[in-house]
Amino acid sequence: MASIEYRDMSIEVKNLRFTKYDLRRALFVLRKSYFVLFILLLGCGKDPAKKTSRLKIVATTGMIGDAVKNITGDSAEVFVLMGPGVDPHLYKPTLRDIDELSDADIIVYNGLHLEGKMGEILEKISLQKKVICLKDGIPEEKFIISNPNQVKEGDHAVYDPHIWFDISIWNAGVKHLGKELANEDPAHSQLYLKNLSAYSDRLEKLDRWTKENIATVPKTQRVLITAHDAFTYFGKAYDIEVMGLQGISTVAEPGLKDITNLVKLIAERKIKAVFVESSVSEKAINAVIQGCMKRGQAVKIGGTLFSDAMGAKGTEEGTYVGMVRYNVRMIVNGLK
Ligand SMILES: [Zn+2]
């Protein structure tokens, strides 16, 4: 077994054989470098002697992990990298995550830059290991362009990554995932396809239920104000105006101008509630509420929505379907 000499990593990389101990040691020194993460993931395949009949699948987000579990049942081992409350835009893999990724038979991720730099690395790893990207199951015209003004000036389109909030689009991604998993695991393919069909039906029902419920809020009051732009797909699919304070990613802080504009809009439209998000700081939205109070416009916090991460394991919101239902109920109750 080769060991890693940090001073001359390139020589050992050619060897592409690392032990787990080497991996940990290297990470201890170099954990901040994504390049190293990439190299290590290439090198660390599963030890063939350790292989069991159960596939090990690593999913980046809770929503994806939930879909994988619904498709595989107990026939695969599923590990989710980003747990409750984790902001995927700012996510950095931990040592445990690296371990899980290097052990995985299959890695599943969202794509469209949701996972930041990690997405680029996974794309490269797909040459060595089975990597499934949810967005590959979705026709490109379904994606929402998040930089329309730049596109008009000839720039490339950047797509909004929050695809799980249009349930019909998400369903297309889940179908792609299910078929890929069935291909990868022939011993369980019949089961996976059967489970996929049942889960997909549930998602279709959830899509209809969401449409019906949002439609009960009078049209002028149907404005969803949240901390960041996670809900653009939701707004388009379910006919509700959406305004985020922070833009598509949570990396940039909102400016004073954004807050002032939003306060004006809330007062003009007499919007009853604004919402906070489980994985994003409340600071910005509290500034809006204070601004409204100064203008004499009472606006309440409608509640905490789950946006980029699901709720705690074992709770209703700890599943994708439960999370959507929870959000919809909260939005409808807050705005009506
Ligand atoms: Zn987000």
Separation of 10 CA from ligand 1 center, angstroms?
36
pLDDT score at 247: 59
Please check whether residues 127 and 10 belong to one and the same domain. Answer: yes
Please check whether residues 266 and 331 belong to one and the same domain. Answer: yes
Separation of 258 CA from ligand 1 center, angstroms?
18
Please check whether residues 221 and 322 belong to one and the same domain. Answer: yes
Separation of 305 CA from ligand 1 center, angstroms?
12
CATH code of 235's domain: 3.40.50.1980
**Residue 239: which region, alpha, beta or left (left: phi > 0; alpha: psi -120 to 50)?**
left
Please check whether residues 170 and 319 belong to one and the same domain. Answer: no
Number of domains in the chain: 2
- Look at residue 20 and tell me if it is in a domain: yes
Separation of 309 CA from ligand 1 center, angstroms?
9
Amino acid at 266: I
- Look at residue 144 and tell me if it is in a domain: no
Burial 299-321 (b: 16+ CB within 10 A, else e): beebbbbbbbbbbeeeeebbbbb
In the three-class reduction of DSSP (H, G, I as helix; E, B as strand; rest coil), residue 304 is classed as: strand
| Number of residues that this document lists for the chain | 336
Separation of 13 CA from ligand 1 center, angstroms?
35
Separation of 84 CA from ligand 1 center, angstroms?
14
Structure-block tokens of residue 53: 């009949």
- Look at residue 149 and tell me if it is in a domain: no
Please check whether residues 197 and 243 belong to one and the same domain. Answer: no
Q: Which domain holds residue 111?
A: 6-139+154-207
Separation of 259 CA from ligand 1 center, angstroms?
19
pLDDT score at 14: 36
Separation of 168 CA from ligand 1 center, angstroms?
19
Going by C-beta distance under 8 Å and a sequence separation of 6 or more, which residues neighbour residue 284? 227, 245, 246, 253, 254, 259
Three-state SS for 63-116 is HHHHHHHHHHHHHEEEEECCCCCCCHHHCCCCHHHHHHHHHCCEEEECCCCCCC
Whole-number Å distance between alpha carbons of 172 and 137:
6
In tens digits, the chain (336 residues) has pLDDT values of 333 333 333 333 333 444 555 555 544 544 556 656 666 666 555 554 455 679 999 999 999 999 999 999 999 999 999 999 888 888 888 888 888 998 999 999 999 999 988 888 888 888 889 999 999 999 999 999 988 889 999 999 999 999 999 999 999 999 999 999 999 999 999 999 999 999 999 999 999 999 999 999 999 889 999 887 889 999 999 999 998 876 555 666 666 777 888 888 888 888 899 998 877 767 778 888 898 999 888 899 999 999 899 999 999 999 999 999 999 999 999 999
Separation of 307 CA from ligand 1 center, angstroms?
7
pLDDT score at 18: 46
Separation of 87 CA from ligand 1 center, angstroms?
7
Separation of 6 CA from ligand 1 center, angstroms?
36
- Look at residue 325 and tell me if it is in a domain: yes
pLDDT score at 231: 93
Separation of 83 CA from ligand 1 center, angstroms?
14
